[in-house]
Chain A
Amino acid sequence: MHRHRIGPLTIFLRKLLNEIWVASSRDEKRKGEPDNLPDKPEWVRMALPGEFRVIRLAPVLPDRPVVIDTEHAYRFMSQTRTKVYSRIPAFVRITPASREDLIIAEIPSVVLSETWFGIFTEGELSYSLSSTARRILTDDLLEPYLVVCPMEIRNNSSDELKFEKVCLRADRLSIYAKDNALWADETVITYNGMDSETHMEMKGVVPGEAAGASLVSRPRSPVKRSMGLKTFKLLRDFHIPGF
C-alpha cells in the first residue's frame, strides 16, 4: 500500500492485479508525514482495462465554479483596474501514468462548502472559498496544494462597480507548477456596466509571476478565450426577502 500526503489530504493506494483501491483521510492539524490508514477505511475499488504499474497523481481545479470572497467589500471607480490573487485548494486526480484519460478518482484536498451563485429560480451550484482574494501575495501563502489564481478586474463602465464576491470559472483554467507552488492562468474580468455582460477572458498562458512554470494539467472544459458571463454577485439578489 502506498500513502501520499497533499496538504491536509492523505491518499492510500493499493494495487491488486488490474484493480486499484483508493481511500483517503484528512487531517488539517498535522503537516508533513502521511496519516495512518484509518481503522475503517472507505476503499473505492476500480477495475482497469489492463495492468498499470505507474499511477499518476496530478492537481486539477475543482469541477464547479468557485465563488471567492474579496478581502473586504470592494468598490471600483469607473475605468479602474486591479489585480487580486485567490488560492483554490486543488483536487487530486489519480490516473495511470500512461493513460491519463482513465480517471480512477478525483479527491478534493480540502472539502469545500457549497454555495449558490444566482437567484432563487436559476443559477449555478458552486464551491465557496472561505479564504479571501488578496491584493498582495507573499511566499508564505504559497502551499503545494493551493492553486494561485491571479485575476485582473477591469471596470470599463461609467458606473462604480460594487462587489463582494466573484465567481471564477475554475473548470476553464490550466495549472502550472514552479518551485513547489501551483499557478492557474490569469483571468481578466471586464465589467461593462449593469446592462452589458461581464467578459471573462482566460489568458491560457503562464502568469507573469510564475514565468518558466511547466504545465501540469489542462482545463476540464475547452477554453473559450472570452465569455460573457454573470461573474459578480449582485447584492440585491439575495437581499430581497428570501424567506
Chain B
Amino acid sequence: MDFFSTLQEGQVSEELLQLVRVLIVIVIGLPLLVILRRTLSRYVAKHYSPHYGMLSGKIFFYIGVTILVVTVFHELGFSLTPLLGAAGILGIAIGFASQTTISNVISGFFLIAEKSFVVGDVINVQGNVGVVYSIDTLSVKIRMFDNRFLRVPNETMIKSEFINITRFPIRRVDCNISVAYKEDLKRVSEVLFDVAEKLPYSLQEPPPLLIFDKFGSSSIDILFVAWTAKENFLKLRNGLNMGIKERFDKEGIEIPFPHVSVYAGSASNPLPVDLLSSEKKVFSASKNIE
C-alpha cells in the first residue's frame, strides 16, 4: 500500500514538474520572443529599411513560435512524428476549407518576393491612395492620407493593378493650363519656364517641358510639366499653380472662362433681345450675346 501511494505521489510530482516547466517555457519564452522581435525589427528598420525590419521581425517570430510549440509538445511527452502525419491529413482538409486564406498567405510570399512595393511606399490601389503600413500574412495594410485604414487582401493585390507612386526618386508635376486665343504663345511659354526656374525645388534636369495640347472650344490648352524630388511633389504642384496664376495676372495673360456664342440663325446678324419688366412693359434691344 505504502509502495503504491509513494508511486502515485511520485507520478503526481513528476506531472506537476512537467507542467511547471511548460508554464516556464510559455511565460518566459513568449514575452522574450515578443521583446526580441521588436528589438530586431527596430534595429533592422533603423539600419536598413522599415520593410526589412518588418520582414525580419515576422520571420524571427514565426520561427520562435514554432520552436516554442515543439518544445512544449516535447515537454508534455508528445511525439511529433504521428502529429506531423496527422497534420498532413488535417492540412488537406483544412486546405479545402480555407482556400482563400491559403491563397492570401501564398500571395503574401509572392508580394514580398516581388518587391513591387515596400513598407513606407505610397501606393494607389484601385483609386485608394495611402502609405503601406505593413505587409502581413493575409493582407496589406494601408494608412490612407485622410487617416483611414485600408486592408487589401494579398490575393487582391496580386490580381489587381496598383501604382507605386514613390518607387522612383523623382516625379513629374503636370499643369493643365488654358490661355485665351488672343495670347502670344511665345510669351506664355517664356512666363511658364520662368515660373518653374524660380522655384528652387523644380529640377533643372530633367528640364520642364511645354506641350501644346489642343485648340479647345474656348481656349488654347497647354500641358506644362516640371520635375521634382518625390518628397517635394506637393510643394512644386502648389508652387507652380500659384506662381502661374500670379504671373499670368501680372502679365495680363488671360485664363479664359468657357465661352458660348449664341446666334439667331446667322452669324452676321445680331440676336434680338426683348427685356420684359414685371408690369409687362415691353422694351426692345438688340445685342450680341457672347
Contact B205 A117 (CB under 8 A): yes
* Among B211, B225, B229, contact of A114 (Cβ-Cβ < 8 Å): B229
Contact B209 A114 (CB under 8 A): no
Which 3 pairs show the lowest CB-CB distances between chains A and B? Answer: A115-B204, A128-B204, A115-B205
Contact B168 A120 (CB under 8 A): yes
Q: Can you give 25 A-B contacts (C-beta < 8 A)?
A: A111-B200, A113-B197, A113-B200, A113-B202, A113-B203, A113-B204, A114-B200, A114-B202, A114-B203, A114-B204, A114-B232, A115-B203, A115-B204, A115-B205, A116-B170, A120-B206, A121-B169, A123-B170, A125-B169, A128-B204, A233-B205, A238-B205, A238-B206, A238-B207, A243-B225
Does A112 sit within 8 A of B, measured CB to CB?
Answer: yes
Q: How far is the CA of A233 from the CA of B205 in the complex (A)?
A: 10
**B198 CB → nearest A CB, Å:** 9
Contact A120 B170 (CB under 8 A): yes
Using CB atoms, name the residue of chain B closest to A122.
Answer: B169
Contact A116 B203 (CB under 8 A): yes
**B96 CB → nearest A CB, Å:** 44
**B226 CB → nearest A CB, Å:** 11
Interface residues as binary, B151-185 with A (CB distance below 8 Å gives 1, 0 otherwise): 00000000000000000111000000000000000
> In the complex, how many residues of chain A place their beta carbon closer than 8 angstroms to a beta carbon of chain B?
19
**B142 CB → nearest A CB, Å:** 24
Contact A125 B205 (CB under 8 A): no
Residues of chain B contacted by A11 (CB below 8 angstroms): none
Does A242 sit within 8 A of B, measured CB to CB?
Answer: yes
Interface residues as binary, A121-163 with B (CB distance below 8 Å gives 1, 0 otherwise): 1110100100000000000000000000000000000000000
Q: How far is the CA of A233 from the CA of B201 in the complex (A)?
A: 20
Q: How far is the CA of A115 from the CA of B169 in the complex (A)?
A: 12
Contact A116 B205 (CB under 8 A): yes
In chain B, residues 203-242, which have Cβ atoms closer than 8 Å to a Cβ of chain A?
203-207, 209, 211, 225, 227-229, 232
Using CB atoms, name the residue of chain A closest to B205.
Answer: A115
Q: How far is the CA of A205 from the CA of B229 in the complex (A)?
A: 35
**A112 CB → nearest B CB, Å:** 7
Q: How far is the CA of A149 from the CA of B249 in the complex (A)?
A: 42
Using CB atoms, name the residue of chain B closest to A165.
Answer: B205
Given A114-B204, A116-B205, A238-B206: 9 more A-B contacts, CB < 8 Å: A67-B205, A114-B229, A115-B204, A116-B169, A116-B170, A116-B206, A116-B227, A122-B169, A165-B205
Among A111, A113, A243, max chain B CB count under 10 A is at: A113
Q: How far is the CA of A243 from the CA of B209 in the complex (A)?
A: 9
**A93 CB → nearest B CB, Å:** 20
**B60 CB → nearest A CB, Å:** 31
Given contacts A67-B205, A120-B168, A238-B206, contact A125 B229 (CB under 8 A): yes
Residues of chain B contacted by A242 (CB below 8 angstroms): 206
Residues of chain B contacted by A233 (CB below 8 angstroms): 205
Residues of chain A contacted by B169 (CB below 8 angstroms): 116, 121-123, 125
Using CB atoms, name the residue of chain B closest to A243.
Answer: B209
Q: How far is the CA of A242 from the CA of B225 in the complex (A)?
A: 11
Q: How far is the CA of A242 from the CA of B205 in the complex (A)?
A: 11
**A73 CB → nearest B CB, Å:** 15
Among A111, A117, A242, max chain B CB count under 10 A is at: A242
Residues of chain B contacted by A116 (CB below 8 angstroms): 169-170, 203, 205-206, 227, 229
Q: How far is the CA of A138 from the CA of B115 in the complex (A)?
A: 54
**A51 CB → nearest B CB, Å:** 34
Q: How far is the CA of A165 from the CA of B206 in the complex (A)?
A: 13
Residues of chain A contacted by B204 (CB below 8 angstroms): 67, 113-115, 128
Q: How far is the CA of A111 from the CA of B229 in the complex (A)?
A: 17
Using CB atoms, name the residue of chain A closest to B197.
Answer: A113
Q: How far is the CA of A63 from the CA of B1 in the complex (A)?
A: 89
Residues of chain A contacted by B228 (CB below 8 angstroms): 114
Q: How far is the CA of A164 from the CA of B193 in the complex (A)?
A: 21
Q: How far is the CA of A122 from the CA of B170 in the complex (A)?
A: 9
In chain A, residues 219-243, which have Cβ atoms closer than 8 Å to a Cβ of chain B?
233, 238, 242-243
**A239 CB → nearest B CB, Å:** 10
**B249 CB → nearest A CB, Å:** 24
Q: How far is the CA of A121 from the CA of B206 in the complex (A)?
A: 12
Contact B205 A128 (CB under 8 A): yes
Residues of chain B contacted by A111 (CB below 8 angstroms): 200
Q: How far is the CA of A42 from the CA of B168 in the complex (A)?
A: 33
Q: How far is the CA of A69 from the CA of B191 in the complex (A)?
A: 23
Residues of chain A contacted by B211 (CB below 8 angstroms): 243
Contact A121 B168 (CB under 8 A): yes
